[in-house]
Homo-oligomer: A and B are copies of this chain.
Amino acid sequence: MTPLDVDALLFDVFGTVVDWRSGVIRDGERLAEGKQLDVDWPAFADAWREEYRPSMDRVRRGEIPWQNLDALHRDSLETLLDRFDVEGLTAEEAEYLNRVWHRLDPWPDSIPGLRRLRPHYLIAPLSNGHVRLLADMAKRAGLPWDLILSAELAGHYKPDEEAYLTAVDLLDLPPDRVAMVAAHEGDLDASRDAGLHTAYVHRPSEWGPERVDDNAEKPDESAYDVVADDISDLAMRLDV
* Residues of chain A whose beta carbon lies under 8 Å from any beta carbon of chain B: 68, 70, 122, 124, 130-132, 134-136, 138-139, 146-148, 152-153, 170-173
Partner of A131, one of B70, B147, B152: B147
Report which of B68, B130, B139, B173 forms a contact with A146, defined as CB distance below 8 A.
B139
User: Given A138-B146, A147-B147, does the pair A132, B170 have CB atoms closer than 8 Å?
Assistant: yes
Do B131 and A170 have beta carbons less than 8 Å apart?
yes
Q: In the bound complex, what is the Cα–Cα distance between A132 and B70 (angstroms)?
A: 27
Query: If A153-B153, A170-B152 touch, does A135 touch B131 (CB 8 Å cutoff)?
Result: no
Query: In the complex, which residues of chain B have a beta carbon less than 8 angstroms from the beta carbon of A153?
Result: 153, 170
Q: In the bound complex, do residue B152 and residue A139 qualify as a contact, i.e. CB atoms below 8 Å apart?
A: no
Query: Is A172 touching B138 in the complex (CB atoms < 8 A)?
Result: no
Q: How far is the CB of A129 from chain B (nearest CB, A)?
A: 12
| Residues of chain B within 8 A of A132, CB atoms compared | 170-173
Q: Bound state CA distance, A146 and B137, in angstroms?
A: 10
Give the residue name and chain of the B residue nearest to A68 (CB).
B172
Q: Which among A130, A135, A139, A171 has the highest number of chain B CB atoms within 10 Å?
A: A135
Closest Cβ of chain B to A216, distance in Å, is: 36
Most chain B CB neighbours (cut-off 10 Å) among A70, A136, A147, A153: A147
Residues on B with C-beta less than 8 A from A170 are: 130-132, 152-153
Residue pair B122, A135 in contact (C-beta under 8 Å): yes
Which chain B residues lie closer than 8 Å to A147 at the CB level? 131, 134-135, 138, 147-148
Interchain nearest-CB distance for A237 vs B (Å): 23
Complex-state Cα separation, A139 to B147, whole angstroms: 9
